[in-house]
Amino acid sequence: MCGFCGYISSNNILDEKTITDMTNTLKKRGPNAQNTFIYRNVALGHTRLSIIDVKYGNQPMTKNYNNTNYTIVYNGELYNTDILRDNLTKKGYKFTTKCDTEVVLVAYLEYGNEFVNYLNGIFSFAIYNDKDNSIFLARDRLGIKPLFYYLDTNPSNPLFIFASEIKAILKHPDVTPIMDKQGLMELIGLGPAHTPGLSYFKNIKEIKAGYYSIIKDFKINEEQYWDLKTKECYDSEEETISNIHDLVVDATKKQLVSDVGICSMLSGGLDSSILSKIAKDNISDLTTFSIDYIGNDQNFISNEYQLTKDSDYVKIMQKFLNTTHKTVLIENTQLFELLNNSLIARDMPGMADIDSSMFAFCNKINKAGFKVCLSGECSDEIFGGYPWYYKEHLCMHDGFPWALSENLRDNLIKKGILKKGELREYVETRRQETLKNVEVLNNDEFENRFRRINYLTIKWFMNTLVERTDRMSMANSLEVRVPFADHRIFEYVYNIPARLKLGMSKTSIPTEKYLLRKAFEKELPNDIVYRKKSPFPKTYDPKYLKLVECKMQSILNNKDSKILKIINKEYIQSILEIHGENLTENLFGQLMTYPQTLAYLIQIENWLNLYNIELEL
């Protein structure tokens, strides 16, 4: 994995300072090599985390084709590299490296813009054509790898900038970090999620998942090359289970290719256990990692969404697989202190300590000597693992089912900034914009509702989680691979009837991830296969709550706190005074309850200061 950036100026670029400064911000994404490229009015920068062809895969990489130079900067992993290279070799192309970067560039030369349809992997990249001075940008189908851009069409000084992370864009001297009213509604109305294609910064957008864009003469032409399409699925339950098994095994095996060691995250849940089992079948000395918190043994409280502790099930799987296992223990003061690190990694307020715990986890995995790690993320979204797929009060909610927090969000914004109902109207408009892309097959309301929630979850909730994983891991020079995010799995499972997906063909009682459990029930311990889904572990130590409460109170007491310009101080003070007991809504499902809501507000204050955000409200 890597990081890259670049820009197109209105005039020829005379020195390397700006592109070097931008590239330096991405060092953690690629600590093994760093290079820049300047030609006329275009500058490119790249940092490399060497995984495949460690010796020869440096970038920017240039190839000449029909008297035109094409230069690529690339971030990702291609899982069908060998097949594509063989096909291109038969067509007469010659390769000088073993890395997937060269294969991507040559595929573009052969197939043109539509070559993205040939790629199986997680990626974002930019290809510069020096003949027509254009840049081709693309992002993988499910948005696992990031790509942001900034466009200023001022006729006197037009400018286009792109980068793997926002921090590189902000390093350009002509960019001012601004949050306008739309950014505020994203931050408070939708955060820590954001509308696909947007950010909390004015004029900084992202290439959406499954899209490519061509930039020429400071105009951007955006095209969608992939989306989830509705179609009939006639497979029997037995055929469906078999197909799922084969797809998951194939996707995982393809992602075990590396010239460096690979480990696996292991929570004791179904998803990570499946991947660890497949990995152990192919890597005899597999190392697995789990995360826990100091004090959770004493402070854990079972609830509707987290019935059991991960540690008990990790032990079952570690013994079953006989892996070398390491448990990363997080101390609560460290969790609090890393709120800033995770904020900087994401460049925007995020999932608070859910982010900072992942930051600490990835840091420890990297320090143990690993550059590549498997994660079970993206399974719940497609296989029906979340409660809003089957709990009636959630799936019938007219809003985002993981954020039944409309009242809370309304109350958080300072009075007078928005008109009454403006925030809810904005959020609902964004939701409907997504849902209009969902096709239904018939008048079966249960099936159609499930499909709409499924699509919404993939485009919004999953995007928030994979952003977290990419930024927290790459900030620690660790590549996290997500085999469940193989687009073939998503295309197939998306169209399996909802009742079959939830195991309701013979009973009215839904079973989360029924088909995935059945696909691997003979290969894993029974306790693992039928363990109820448990979310990413949180701290239950009252020490952490005290830390965030004290910090939030100090922010409210400081008249110079920037967040006071946008939040309802009196409302937040009322929450603090009774320790959240009057808080009936969770900001972001079970992942962000009272402590995480306070931590999110703390991150907003730190973001406004660290990034010197100007407010245009």
pLDDT digits (tens, 9 = 90+) for 566-609: 999 999 999 999 999 988 899 998 889 999 999 999 999 999 99
- For 220-236, what is each residue's pLDDT tens digit? 999 999 999 999 999 99
Residues 39, 17 share a domain:
yes
pLDDT at 318 over 60: yes
- For 287-315, what is each residue's pLDDT tens digit? 999 999 987 776 666 555 566 678 889 99
Q: Is residue 373 annotated as part of the catalytic site, yes or no?
A: no
Residues 170, 125 share a domain:
yes
**Window from 105-119, 156-170, 171-185, 258-272 with minimum mean pLDDT:** 258-272
Residues 265, 219 share a domain:
no
The domain spanning residue 9 has which CATH number? 3.60.20.10
Tell me if residue 144 falls in helix, strand or coil.
coil
Please report which confidence band the pLDDT of residue 537 belongs to, taking 50, 70 and 90 as the band edges. confident
| Percent share of the chain, pLDDT over 70 | 97
Q: What is the mean pLDDT of residues 45-60?
A: 76
- Helix count and strand count (H, E) for the chain: 25, 20
Please report which confidence band the pLDDT of residue 539 belongs to, taking 50, 70 and 90 as the band edges. confident
Cβ–Cβ < 8 Å for 343, 448: no
Distance separating alpha carbons of residues 502 and 490, to the nearest angstrom: 16
**pTM for the full model?**
0.96
Residues 86, 16 share a domain:
yes
Residues 603, 499 share a domain:
no
Please report which confidence band the pLDDT of residue 56 belongs to, taking 50, 70 and 90 as the band edges. low
Please report which confidence band the pLDDT of residue 118 belongs to, taking 50, 70 and 90 as the band edges. very high
Residues 75, 40 share a domain:
yes
pLDDT at 485 over 90: yes
Residues 161, 289 share a domain:
no
Cβ–Cβ < 8 Å for 316, 333: no
Q: What is the mean pLDDT of residues 181-210?
A: 98
**Average pLDDT score over the chain:** 94
Residue 551 lies in a domain: yes
Q: Could you tell me the residue range of the domain that residue 564 belongs to?
A: 542-616
pLDDT, position 538: 75
Residue 443 lies in a domain: no
pLDDT, position 307: 61
Distance separating alpha carbons of residues 120 and 492, to the nearest angstrom: 15
Residues 546, 524 share a domain:
no
Distance separating alpha carbons of residues 231 and 94, to the nearest angstrom: 40
Residues 366, 293 share a domain:
yes
Residue-wise burial string across 352-385, b where 16 or more C-beta atoms lie within 10 A, e elsewhere? bbbbbbbbbbbbbbbeeebbbbbbbbbbbbbbbb
Q: Given the residues 2, 99, 263, 373, select the one marked as catalytic.
A: 2
Which of 171 and 53 is assigned the larger pLDDT?
171
Left if phi > 0, otherwise alpha if psi is -120 to 50, otherwise beta: which for 218?
Answer: left
Pick from 409, 446, 441, 443: which is nearest to 428 by CA? 409
Q: Which of 529, 558, 585 is the last residue of a domain?
A: 529
Residues 276, 206 share a domain:
no
Q: What is the mean pLDDT of residues 390-397?
A: 89
For residue 65, give Cα distances in angstroms to 89, 102, 107, 290, 458: 15, 13, 12, 48, 38
Residues 261, 210 share a domain:
no
Residue 64 lies in a domain: yes
Q: Which of 200, 224, 248 is the last residue of a domain?
A: 224
pLDDT at 187 over 90: yes
Q: What is the mean pLDDT of residues 408-436?
A: 97
Please report which confidence band the pLDDT of residue 417 belongs to, taking 50, 70 and 90 as the band edges. very high
Residues 96, 64 share a domain:
yes
